[in-house]
């Protein structure tokens, strides 16, 4: 005896709901495992802070490998010990949110420089979610430190991630709109400066992997950021 069309439809709906729930659970579990891999790096920062506490009213840089590779003493000598690098390479925007209470807020910085979302696009994280994670980060910072300024560096175009340029454009546009309506939050747009005359990523600004930056790329970021730090 064949099942009725109603039972067949109900079964399909229940199966679809179960699959969605399973995918959500697996995604959450996968991210929890991924997030935990950064705990040793964060613990190392905290151990360093216990030995030599960073100064208050400083500038904290947080994000992924583009932050890690930014030689702050070289590019911002005027900041000295007040330039605090808390990048952890390979991290995503959700990781900056996860650890903001441990490696940003305790320092009571006057400025937070945020660069995350670049790794998200390669994992096909939707642009609205990248923007949402930044909003969560900003809200956590300003709930604890209402006078601190937060600067979002736009997600850069790169050779390796050019296929995701539409996601990058959308994420940047969403964050820019958010910053325009959020006090003490600034969007630093470096996208056009990272492109060549052909409208594609300038290879002179990227190392051989087509993703990370050369000193020339960092000079562009530094020149764009320095005036914002003085405001």
CB atoms within 10 A of CB 11: 11
Provide the residue count of the chain: 231
pLDDT at 36: 79
Q: What burial letters (b/e) apply to 71-106, b meaning 16+ CB within 10 Å?
A: ebeebbeeeeebbbbbbbeebbbbbbbbbbeebbbb
Mark whether 202 and 161 lie in a shared domain. Answer: yes
Mark whether 21 and 60 lie in a shared domain. Answer: no
pLDDT per residue of the chain (231 residues) written in tens, 0 to 9: 555 544 444 444 344 334 333 433 434 444 444 557 889 999 999 999 999 999 999 999 999 999 999 999 999 999 999 999 999 988 899 999 999 999 999 999 999 999 999 999 999 999 999 999 999 999 999 999 999 999 999 999 999 999 999 999 999 999 999 999 999 999 999 999 999 999 999 999 999 999 999 999 999 999 999 999 998
CA-to-CA separations, 214 to 68, 76, 99, 171, in angstroms, rounded = 13, 16, 28, 24
Do 85 and 45 touch, CB atoms closer than 8 A? no
Considering Cα of 73, then 157, then 141, then 27, what sign does the dihedral take? negative
Mark whether 153 and 71 lie in a shared domain. Answer: yes
Q: What burial letters (b/e) apply to 212-223, b meaning 16+ CB within 10 Å?
A: bbeeebbebbbe
pLDDT at 90: 87
Mark whether 23 and 48 lie in a shared domain. Answer: no
Mark whether 13 and 64 lie in a shared domain. Answer: no
Tokens of 113: 């420089």
- Alpha helices by DSSP H, listed for the chain, are 5-36, 39-51, 65-68, 72-75, 93-103, 118-122, 127-144, 165-180, 215-230
How many structural domains are present in the chain?
Answer: 2
Mark whether 86 and 167 lie in a shared domain. Answer: yes
pLDDT at 231: 82
Nearest to 68 by CA among 217, 212, 227: 212
Mark whether 118 and 226 lie in a shared domain. Answer: yes
The values of phi and psi at residue 55, to 5°, are: -70, 150
Mark whether 17 and 79 lie in a shared domain. Answer: no
* Full domain range(s) for residue 127: 37-230
DSSP 8-state code for residue 56: S
Mark whether 190 and 206 lie in a shared domain. Answer: yes
CATH number of the CATH domain containing 150: 3.40.50.1110
Mark whether 30 and 43 lie in a shared domain. Answer: no
Q: pLDDT tens across 126-184, in order?
A: 999 999 999 999 999 999 999 999 999 999 999 999 999 999 999 999 999 999 999 99
Mark whether 11 and 51 lie in a shared domain. Answer: no
CB atoms within 10 A of CB 228: 14
Considering Cα of 130, then 111, then 173, then 63, what sign does the dihedral take? negative
Q: Tell me how far apart the alpha carbons of residues 53 and 160 are, in angstroms, rounded to a whole number.
A: 38
Mark whether 17 and 106 lie in a shared domain. Answer: no
């Amino acid at each position: 005896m064949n099942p009725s069309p109603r039972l067949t439809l109900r079964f399909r709906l229940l199966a679809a709901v179960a699959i969605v729930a399973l995918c959500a659970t697996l995604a959450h579990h996968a991210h929890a495992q991924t997030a935990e891999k950064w705990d040793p790096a964060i613990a190392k920062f905290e151990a360093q802070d216990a030995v030599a506490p960073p100064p208050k009213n400083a500038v904290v840089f947080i994000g992924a490998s583009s932050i890690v590779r930014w030689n702050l003493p070289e590019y911002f000598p005027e900041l000295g010990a007040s330039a605090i690098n808390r990048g952890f390479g390979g991290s995503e925007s959700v990781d900056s949110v996860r650890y903001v209470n441990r490696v940003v807020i305790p320092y009571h910085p006057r400025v937070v420089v945020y660069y995350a979302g670049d790794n998200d696009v390669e994992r096909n994280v939707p642009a609205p979610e990248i923007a949402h994670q930044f909003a969560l980060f900003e809200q956590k910072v300003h709930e604890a430190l209402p006078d601190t300024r937060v600067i979002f560096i736009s997600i850069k175009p790169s050779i390796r991630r050019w296929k995701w340029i539409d996601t990058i454009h959308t994420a940047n546009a969403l964050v820019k709109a958010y910053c325009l309506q959020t006090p003490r939050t600034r969007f630093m747009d470096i996208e056009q400066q990272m492109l060549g005359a052909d409208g594609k990523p300038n290879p002179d600004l990227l190392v051989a992997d087509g993703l990370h930056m050369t000193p020339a790329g960092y000079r562009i970021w530094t020149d764009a950021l320095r005036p914002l730090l003085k405001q």
